[in-house]
Structure 1
């Protein structure tokens, strides 16, 4: 990770079809904005932590910026994701 990259936690779990949609959007946005996409996406399975599980079990998929705890929770579309990432 370089100094410009920001960590984003991707709260997910196995078999979550909405999470798969968000993963596909993240791949697409990273390709579309490859020169401006300075994020390290860290997938975190909510089943691995009781506290995280309780917090997000009804709301995944959720993206959370490490620096300021800003969250983007489902539902959101591609444009909203780009806006949240500051890519427009």
Structure 2
């Protein structure tokens, strides 16, 4: 199942029309159809707006960054400079 398929299923489970989701996401019904069909030309920001409209962005800002955490622990320099020569 693709992301577009999952979005369609989520919309139908919530008994929402494509028009209602489009209004909530600030887009058009045609764009919702493109998303649900997997059209790669749709901007990622529109996907995010649709996911938000469906209430599917729980934990969106909770990014697990073990590499970044390890780098902070390693006390790396703030800037790296290139040596000329």
Structure with the higher helix share, 1 or 2: 2
Same fold (TM over 0.5): no
What is the TM-score normalised by the length of structure 1?
0.28
Greater relative contact order (CA < 8 Å, ≥ 6 in sequence): 1
Q: TM-score when scaled to structure 2?
A: 0.29
- Choose between structure 1 and 2: higher strand proportion: 1
